[in-house]
Amino acid sequence: MDTSSSLLFFSFFFFIIIVIFNKINGLRSSPASKKKLNDHHVTSQSHGPKFPHGSLGWPVIGETIEFVSSAYSDRPESFMDKRRLMYGRVFKSHIFGTATIVSTDAEVNRAVLQSDSTAFVPFYPKTVRELMGKSSILLINGSLHRRFHGLVGSFLKSPLLKAQIVRDMHKFLSESMDLWSEDQPVLLQDVSKTVAFKVLAKALISVEKGEDLEELKREFENFISGLMSLPINFPGTQLHRSLQAKKNMVKQVERIIEGKIRKTKNKEEDDVIAKDVVDVLLKDSSEHLTHNLIANNMIDMMIPGHDSVPVLITLAVKFLSDSPAALNLLTEENMKLKSLKELTGEPLYWNDYLSLPFTQKVITETLRMGNVIIGVMRKAMKDVEIKGYVIPKGWCFLAYLRSVHLDKLYYESPYKFNPWRWQERDMNTSSFSPFGGGQRLCPGLDLARLETSVFLHHLVTRFR
């Protein structure tokens, strides 16, 4: 059986299992929901709000196989493009075992992502929900989410942490690049993944070297292997191994928390300077932020940071290698900064990297074309009308960001890598949302830009 056939067979089997589990948990549409679907279909014939057109696909499996096979192709948005031509920018489908409204419309996406939990809540496949747990920042809503997100976001944006990350990136990259040689290939994504994990572990829980770091990394690799596994939890399955790996990591983080408390119990709280995210959360007086909740969420926060930054770095280098003019301009800009700092004897500060105009345009264009986050899923808590479309209660909503970023309606020559397009263009528009949006906007977006800027600077100033 060839690779393509194996993929389709696996996808079919995988999502049959998911649908069965969803049936057991009552996630599929009930007769009442089907009646509601018909009612909405009738209103679509009038001049009022309309239920999106589309197809629910095959019985049980819906359109999941085609969706997954497109995702593994060289044009993942082909599934969306085909249906957008037939049904419009917002359409109905059935993927991941649930009825779904899919949107490739920038304004509709923005409206949903900016909604509060009375209208939409996060939605993830069953396996991901089990691995994260009910208290995950990626799933919780209301005041606890706002408090947690606010505390973490403020710290991740702080000059203190950004300065630390610049120092750490310089150290880790210098150690790695010193070992590079012309006769050995360098796997940039592997290098960037190793560096990004070290930076993230130190920023979250102050683990930076030795056996503790190796243990954390080993368990984390076992943990994330289960994100796309079958939702079957018994000894021997990948999900079971991943859950066990998370338990081990939580215990490790809880030991770190206990150590921090012992060190600070004789000090005044105000005298303790937060060195990592755990410190920030421990200083909060909320009774809801238990040590176990903090420990679990430190693991969950590693998920988006583990792949997003390495993928962003790798794609930036790839796009630059295909665009000599852009590479030359970025190199020139970074060499000038390096020469200036050497002349004045000053170190490079975090704001030096972020103030390089063309480097930031390259990163922005990489985010648009690369689509590190291809889409965001929500679940409607009530019937919601947006831009004339009705999103029914209980249905999943998929904001497919990749299609928006590669839509000629919003971008001229969307498949062309063109950093210069951002000279006049505003990033604060509904057609550019590489990190999601609303109350759940990724709190680490500034750090992703900073880490990528530092990596590119070291790469182009040391190598040709």
Give the per-residue pLDDT at 27. 40
CB environment 62-96: b (16+ within 10 A), e (fewer) = bbbbbbbbbbeeeebbebbeebbeebbbbbbbbbb
Question: pTM for this structure?
Answer: 0.86
Domain membership flag for residue 386: yes
Domain membership flag for residue 434: yes
Distance CA 115, CA 380 (A): 10
For residue 49, which phi and psi values (nearest 5 degrees)? -55, 145
Per residue in 77-132, pLDDT tens? 899 999 999 999 999 999 888 899 999 999 999 999 999 889 999 998 888 888 98
Distance CA 98, CA 378 (A): 12
Distance CA 13, CA 316 (A): 36
Give the per-residue pLDDT at 364. 97
pLDDT interval class at 198 (50, 70, 90): very high
Residue 327 has pLDDT above 80, yes or no: yes
| Residue 160 exposed, middle or buried by CB count within 10 Å (0-12, 13-18, 19+) | exposed
Domain that holds residue 280: 47-459
442 has binding-site annotation? yes
Domain membership flag for residue 174: yes
Domain membership flag for residue 35: no
Residue 415 has pLDDT above 90, yes or no: yes
Report how far apart, in Å, the C-alpha atoms of 261 and of each of 4, 152, 264, 282, 300 are: 53, 19, 5, 9, 22
Radius of gyration of the chain (CA): 23
| Amino acid identity at 166 | V
CB environment 221-249: b (16+ within 10 A), e (fewer) = ebbbebbebbbebeeeebbebbbebbebb
- Structural domain count of the chain: 1
pLDDT interval class at 404 (50, 70, 90): very high
Domain membership flag for residue 156: yes
Question: Whole-number mean pLDDT of the chain?
Answer: 85
Q: What is the DSSP letter of 121?
A: E
Give the per-residue pLDDT at 199. 93
* Beta carbons within 10 angstroms of residue 262's beta carbon: 9
Per residue in 139-156, pLDDT tens? 888 888 888 889 999 999
Distance CA 355, CA 346 (A): 16
| Amino acid identity at 250 | V
Report how far apart, in Å, the C-alpha atoms of 52 and of each of 36, 41, 66, 111, 385 are: 13, 8, 20, 16, 11
Per residue in 333-381, pLDDT tens? 999 999 999 999 999 999 999 999 999 999 999 999 999 888 999 999 9
What is the pLDDT averaged over residues 196-223? 91
Share of the chain above pLDDT 70, in %: 88
Domain membership flag for residue 4: no
Residue 59 has pLDDT above 70, yes or no: yes
Residue 461 has pLDDT above 90, yes or no: yes
The packing angle between helices 188-205 and 210-224, to 10°, is 110
Cβ atoms 300, 226 nearer than 8 A: no
Domain membership flag for residue 5: no
Report how far apart, in Å, the C-alpha atoms of 248 and of each of 106, 237, 280, 281, 416 are: 41, 17, 23, 21, 45
Residue 431 token pair = 């057609």
What is the pLDDT averaged over residues 302-312? 85
What is the pLDDT averaged over residues 8-21? 43
Per residue in 444-460, pLDDT tens? 888 999 999 999 999 99
pLDDT interval class at 270 (50, 70, 90): low
Domain membership flag for residue 16: no
Give the per-residue pLDDT at 33. 42
Residue 411 has pLDDT above 50, yes or no: yes
Residue 429 has pLDDT above 90, yes or no: no
Residue 20 has pLDDT above 70, yes or no: no
Residue 5 has pLDDT above 60, yes or no: no
Residue 383: which CATH number?
1.10.630.10
For residue 397, which phi and psi values (nearest 5 degrees)? -125, 130
What is the pLDDT averaged over residues 240-265? 91
Give the per-residue pLDDT at 452. 96
For residue 183, which phi and psi values (nearest 5 degrees)? -95, 5
Give the per-residue pLDDT at 173. 94
Cβ atoms 374, 464 nearer than 8 A: no
